[in-house]
Amino acid sequence: MTDLPHFQLYIDGSFTEGQDGQVLRSKNPATGVDWASFACANPADVDRAVSAARRVLDDPTWRDMTQTRRGKLLYRLAELIEENAQALGRLETTDSGKLLAETASQTGYVGDYYRYYAGLADKIEGAVLPIDKPDMHVFTRREPIGVVVAVVPWNAQMFLTATKLGPALAAGCSVVLKASEIAPAPMLEFAKLVDQAGFPAGVVSVITGDAENCAIPLTRHKDVDRIAFTGGPDTARHVVRNSAENFAVTSLELGGKSPILVFEDADLDSAANGLIAGNFGASGQSCVAGSRGLVQRSVLKELIARIAKASEGITVGDPLAADTHVGPLCTRAQIENITATLDKARDQGAEIHFGGAPLDRAGNYMAPTLVECGDHSIETLNTELFGPVMSLLAFDTEEEAIALANSTPFGLGSGVFTRNLARAHRVSERLKAGICWVNTYRAVSPIAPFGGSNHSGYGREAGLDAIHDYTRTKTTWINTSDAPMANPFVMR
C-alpha cells in the first residue's frame, strides 16, 4: 500500500495509525481503481479520542478560554479552509466522485459557517429572572453540553461537518468527528487544518472505521454527552439505541424523499431547472434531492419536454473536468440499487423518457433518468435512490398536490413552483417538511436552520438556535438577605 496516498486518524492532537493496524483502501468512483488507503479506529482508539475530549473540558487551556478567543480560533479555521478549498475539493472529488466544481465551491463556502458561529461565540448569554420570591437573585447561564460525537456521511462532508463542529466549538464543547468509512479522506485531511488553527489537543479528534469497531463503541461511550448524526434511518435506529447507554442528547438528519410541486401557473423553464437541480445536481446524491416531482396535469407533457431538452446538454463524465455536469456515484451498490428499482418501476407501468441504465464505461456512472409515473405506488417515488433519477407524477388540484406531497414518512425538503403568491404561502405552510423552497431549490445558508421531521429526523443545524443545542442551562439562586435562612419545617 506504500504506493497509495495514506491518511491517518487524528486523536488528541496527534496523527496516528489505529491501534490494531487495520487499513482500508478507497476506490476512485470515476475509475473503480484503488487510489488511497486510510487507518481505521478500533474500540481502544475510540476510547482514547473520547477520553481526550473529556479531559480537555477540564483543562484550563480550553475550559477557561474566553468565548471571544474561541471565536478567533474559528475565524482562523475559516481562513484555512478557504485557502485550501481547491485542494480539499480535489481530494473529495477523487474519493467520492462529486464534481470538483461543487466540492471546491462548497468547501470554500463553509468558511462562512465557521465565521457565523465565530461571531456568535461571545454572544451566548444567560438571563436574570424576575423571580416570584423576595431576597433572591436568580440567573441562568449556558454552559457547554460536553463531549460531542458528530457522525458525518460522505456525500457533503465539509458542509455537514461545519454545521456540527462550528456551533459545538463556539459553545465550548469538545468534539469527536466520525467520518464515513466510505470516502473519508477529505475529513482526515481537514484535521490538519484544525491542528494548524491552534485548537488545544483533544478539543477535536477525527476518526473513521466500521460500525462494530468504531461507530458502535463511539455512540454508546459512557462519556459522550451529545450525538449529532447525519445518515440513513436504519443506521439512526442503532444510534438511538446506543444513546440509551449514555443518555446523550441526540439530533438526527436522515435524508428524505422530497416533493417538488409545479403548478400550471409556474414559470416552466424555472421549474424545469429546479427539478434538474434537485435531481441531477450532485449526481442526485443529496439528502434534499427533489425526487418526487408533482406536476399539475395540464402542464406535465410540456414540462417533460422542457426537462428533456435541457437535459440533452448534460455531460456525464470525469468529475475533475470543468465541463462535466454529472459525475459518477460514490459506490457500485448505488448503481445496483437504482437499476433494480428502475426495473421494478417498469414492471409497475412507469414510462422512462430518457436514461434508465448505467453507462457502459469504467467507474460508477449512471445516466440521468426521467421516469413518468402513473400513480404514487411506483417504486421510484417511494425509495431514496441517491442517484440522478427524477420521477414525475400528475395531479389535478391543489388539495391533491398537498396530499401527495405529504404521503411519505419523510419530511426534510420540499419545493413549490408557482407565480401565485397566495398559493405559495398557502401550500408551503401545509407541506410537512422542515424546509420549503419556493421558485428555487437547494439553497442553503449558515443563517437558515436546516433539518426535518418524522423519518427525516429531528433537531436543526445552522441558524442562531443551533448553538444553543450544544449548551445546557444552569440556574443559580443567590439569597441576598443577611437574615438566617428560615426554618425549613415551617411552611410559609
Identified catalytic residue from 92, 189, 253, 372: 253
- Find the radius of gyration of the CA atoms of the chain: 25
Distance CA 492, CA 271 (A): 68
Q: Are strands 174-179 and 147-152 parallel, antiparallel or unpaired?
A: parallel
Active site includes 212? no
Distance CA 455, CA 292 (A): 16
Cα dihedral 234, 240, 241, 246 sign = positive
* 387 grid coordinates: 442517484
- Judge contact between 204 and 175, C-beta under 8 A: yes
Distance CA 386, CA 285 (A): 5
Separation of first and last alpha carbons in the chain: 77
Q: Are strands 226-230 and 147-152 parallel, antiparallel or unpaired?
A: parallel
Distance CA 477, CA 129 (A): 10
Which one, of 251, 205, 202, lies nearest residue 41 by Cα? Answer: 205
- Judge contact between 29 and 364, C-beta under 8 A: yes
Determine the angle formed by the axes of helices 67-83 and 185-197, rounding to 10 degrees. Answer: 130
Bridge partners of 205, per DSSP, are 176
DSSP SS3 for 143? strand
Name every residue whose Cβ is closer than 8 Å to that of residue 245 and which is 6 or more positions away in sequence: 220, 222
Distance CA 92, CA 204 (A): 20
Q: Are strands 226-230 and 437-438 parallel, antiparallel or unpaired?
A: unpaired
- Judge contact between 260 and 293, C-beta under 8 A: yes
Q: Which residues are catalytic?
A: 253
